[in-house]
Structure 1
């Protein structure tokens, strides 16, 4: 009996040594969770034995329990390196067409494969949720593999330009009274931006602002500005883009038509402000411009009927500096190539393209279980749900009990090397003690066998 007890002690010490050695071996494994061997005594009795004098039968391994407390962070320069700061697991699948067959992991070292899909080092696909592109909300909580397109969309022509700016109060009129975009002394301020035709070709669009304030004039026109727009061809030729002649005559800038002096030609538009620096009543804030063909712009096979709508959003004339708060091309874009990927704390995957477009392509899915220690360990820092752990509960990062996602960061193993080395020494001492007990039992049996 005592031999079996000593043998059980040896087995328990060996199990403790194996567990501690495995922890030490995985000290540098991202997302690894340490294990702890837990033991219980063996005791049996019957109706024919005296419970007061019955000894135990040794020791047995109750379980090797995983400890899911968080490891420390290691910071990288890879935005696809992720960690969950708090509760939750990433979900990965062997087959992107069967996302329901997935595993859980805390190892967030992901990269793009040759098809621009997010995978880990073993080629398993990271699962996420599709996102509504307009509201950036989750469209469906049915997780699937995540793919980032390296090319974004077809080229679209510019149509709507949103402008928000402040024109300084009492800006003195330029020295030369007749506007000429080739003469810097004929305008007060200018800004430029890039627009696109239907083939995605870029053009330089320049807006010129001409103050009309003359302190010696009566009235002084202190609150009036002329606005002129030009488009520069790819050949470098700058062409005046005129407003549509249907614009209210009170807000037209006209010159005599060189082909018919009895008629006027619209070359720009006027912006007027009241005494509070706001657009005066009746001021048009949506200016329709002429077509590119009418302006004589060489579009090289693109749509010649393209027009621009200048939409002014809260223009002001305050006693402060000239400031363009917004000059946004709402529609126009050329073909864009993937330039950068960012992932925010909520798990949104933001792809940035060379054409200036930023697109949320999906959201990283997180899962958790009711009992983490009930998860089945698979190796490769992967776990499977079991009946003991409960089914996976899906959700968003930074929502409810789910932790936040940190990009450019990996979770190191939660091994405390100092504690593991102490445990190693303790397990070694226990093994030696059990070996000594087995040796003593062997000597006693030898003595009994030598009795004559």
Structure 2
């Protein structure tokens, strides 16, 4: 019996060495989780169970348990290198079959789909059409980077946050002439865009009227007057009283480029008339030109956005995170991926940064959680364990030989 007991010890030591060798071999594998060999003792069974004075008959390998503690996070400066700081897994699709991984080295393929080195596509919750900032968490879709250009948007509103001096005097020259600086008090310019993304230089002119607290705002687009000017008035408290809503609707500006006519409104609702200094805190408009893709940004909440040269960003989806009640029981697929199993429990889906999931670090990768020092020490222990069991077999052989040689 001693031979079989010691032989089970040899098998256990060999299994421990195999697990340790596997851990050491993957010490530099991104997202790898080390394993641990767990053993249990063996006792012979009788018809009535295990006798109280039974001698054990060896050891067996109970399971190889994965250890999912956090690995260190290393910066890479590649926006689509993703690391999870905390719990959870990335969800990937292998031709429709879902798998889960902590290895976040992703790149776009030739069609723009974001995938790992095995061709598994990263899964996201898609944006909800017509609801900016909202994502459909009940649906999974492949993350795809839009390689094309960002469409332009025609300007519709010019917002002027300004203070016109109450002490200003009317210009010395009348009527207003954009080419004559003595016919207006102040002017400022900005660029607006048409429906095709072409830019148009726009000038605003502020002319003090002879009537108290009254100004006229003139507008030019590409050097041509737009309308004849709009009067604006202020009350004794310096706040605008007319037009009542502070909105100056300009006549349509026809264009000869094939773009739709410009339909502009000047928003001066927050303008004031105080003191003796002209200030323009901001002058902005809501249009933009065509944009080219510049980079991809991933937030800590896993929101993936495409950024363009026109300053716009388009949400492409939110990373679909997954977790399990018992991750140690996930089925290993190799390539640092896992599949669902009954023992692991029902998959739990959610978003990064929520209580059940860690946050996302873009431009970083999670390293293997293998500690080489621990593994080398464990290798020595397993080696000694193997040698001791081998010595037990040698000792039993000597005893057996002695018994055989007795006369």
| CA deviation map 1:17-76 (0-9, x unaligned) | 111121122122121111111111011142599935431111111111011111111112
What TM-score, normalized by structure 1, do the two folds share? 0.81
Give the 4+ runs in structure 1 shifted more than 6 A: none
Cα distance change, pair 164–54 in 1 and its aligned pair in 2 (3 A): same
Residue 290, structure 1, aligned to residue 245, structure 2? no
Instruction: Return 283-292 or 60-69, whichever deviates more.
Output: 283-292
Give the Cα separation in 2 of the matches to 1:326 and 1:139.
Answer: 36
Give the Cα separation in 2 of the matches to 1:287 and 1:175.
Answer: 22
Residue 450, structure 1, aligned to residue 401, structure 2? no
Aligned residues: 404
Residue 372, structure 1, aligned to residue 327, structure 2? yes
Give the Cα separation in 2 of the matches to 1:415 and 1:108.
Answer: 17
Q: CA deviation at 1:286?
A: 2.2
What TM-score, normalized by structure 2, do the two folds share? 0.89
1:314 is matched with 270
| CA deviation map 1:242-284 (0-9, x unaligned) | 3xxxxxxxxxxxxxxxxxxxxxxx2x22332223332125445
1:163 is matched with 159
Give the Cα separation in 2 of the matches to 1:381 and 1:211.
Answer: 72
- State whether residues 151 and 336 of structure 1, in contact with CA within 8 Å, keep that contact through their aligned partners in structure 2: no
Give the Cα separation in 2 of the matches to 1:168 and 1:5.
Answer: 97
SS, match of residue 111 in structure 2: coil
1:68 is matched with 68
- State whether residues 277 and 316 of structure 1, in contact with CA within 8 Å, keep that contact through their aligned partners in structure 2: yes
Cα distance change, pair 148–208 in 1 and its aligned pair in 2 (3 A): farther
Provide structure 2 residue ranges, at least 5 long, that are not aligned to the other structure: none
Residue 125, structure 1, aligned to residue 124, structure 2? no
Cα distance change, pair 48–228 in 1 and its aligned pair in 2 (3 A): closer
- State whether residues 174 and 185 of structure 1, in contact with CA within 8 Å, keep that contact through their aligned partners in structure 2: no
1:260 is matched with none
Residue 196, structure 1, aligned to residue 193, structure 2? yes
Q: CA deviation at 1:365?
A: 0.6
1:403 is matched with 358
Q: CA deviation at 1:204?
A: 2.1
Q: How does 1:436-447 map to 2 (within 5 A)?
A: 436-447=391-402
Give the Cα separation in 1 of the matches to 2:107 and 2:347.
Answer: 25
SS, match of residue 336 in structure 1: coil
Cα distance change, pair 308–439 in 1 and its aligned pair in 2 (3 A): same
Q: How does 1:324-343 map to 2 (within 5 A)?
A: 324-325=281-282, 327-329=284-286, 332-343=287-298
Residue 231, structure 1, aligned to residue 221, structure 2? yes
Give the Cα separation in 1 of the matches to 2:221 and 2:280.
Answer: 22
Give the Cα separation in 1 of the matches to 2:273 and 2:27.
Answer: 64
| CA deviation map 1:330-354 (0-9, x unaligned) | xx44432211211112211111122
Provide structure 1 residue ranges, at least 5 long, that are not aligned to the other structure: 233-237, 243-265
Cα distance change, pair 188–380 in 1 and its aligned pair in 2 (3 A): farther
Residue 148, structure 1, aligned to residue 145, structure 2? yes
SS, match of residue 299 in structure 1: coil
